[in-house]
Amino acid sequence: MHSHCIKFIKWIWVVAAIMAIQDLQAQDPQNEFTIDAKLNTRGEIRVGGFNVLEEDENERMAHFIMGQYRLNIGYKRSDWFELKLSPQFSGIWGQAGGNLSLSEGWLSMKHNKTGLFAKIGRQCFEYDDERILGYDDWTMTAPTHDALKLGFEGYGHKVHVLLAYNQNSENISQGTNYYAGGIQPYKTMQTLWYHYETPKSLFGFSLLGMNIGVQCKNSNFPDTTFFQQLFGGYVKLKPSIVTLEGSFYYQMGREENGMKLDAFMGSAKLQVAPSDMYSLYAGYDYLSGDQFPVQINGGLGLIFHDKARAFSPLFGSHHEFYGAMDFFYMDSYVNNFSPGLQNLYAGGSVNPVKGLKIDAAYHFYAIAANLNRIKKPLGHEFEVGISYTFAKFVKVAAGYSYMRGTESMEILQQVSQNRRLHWGWVMLTVNPTIFTLPWNDKKKQ
Tell me the C-alpha distance between 378 and 342, whole Å.
9
**CA–CA gap between residue 328 and residue 323 (Å, rounded):** 8
181 pLDDT above the threshold of 80: no
CA distance 379 to 328: 12
Beta bridge partners of 363: 345, 381
Lowest mean per-residue pLDDT among 49-58, 130-139, 306-315: 49-58
The rounded mean pLDDT for the chain is: 85
Is 17 strand, coil or helix? helix
**Rounded to whole angstroms, how far apart are CA atoms 147 and 178?**
16
Q: Per-residue pLDDT tens for 385-401?
A: 999 998 889 999 999 99
pLDDT higher than threshold 80 for residue 120: yes
As a whole number of Å, the end-to-end CA separation of the chain is 48
Q: Which run of H or E residues covers position 252?
A: strand 242-253
Nearest to 184 by CA among 232, 150, 136: 136
Tens digit of each residue's pLDDT (9 = 90 or more) over 348-385: 999 999 999 999 999 999 999 988 878 899 999 999 99
- The stretch 143-162 carries a mean pLDDT of 94
Of 161-165, 238-242, 401-405, which has the strongest mean pLDDT? 161-165
Percentage of the chain beyond pLDDT 90 is 58
128 conformational bin, left if phi > 0, alpha if psi -120 to 50, beta if neither: left
SS3 319: helix
Cβ-based neighbours of 104, under 8 Å, separated by 6 or more: 72, 84, 85, 86, 121, 122, 123, 124, 144
Confidence bin at 12 (pLDDT 50/70/90): very low
pLDDT digits (tens, 9 = 90+) for 234-262: 999 998 899 999 999 999 999 888 889 99
pLDDT in tens, 284-339: 999 999 887 665 554 445 566 678 899 999 999 888 899 888 888 766 676 667 89
**Dihedral angle sign, alpha carbons of residues 135, 136, 138, 140:** negative
> Above 90 in pLDDT, residue 104?
yes
Residue 311 sits at the vertex; the CA angle it makes with 308 and 312, to the nearest 5 degrees, is 115
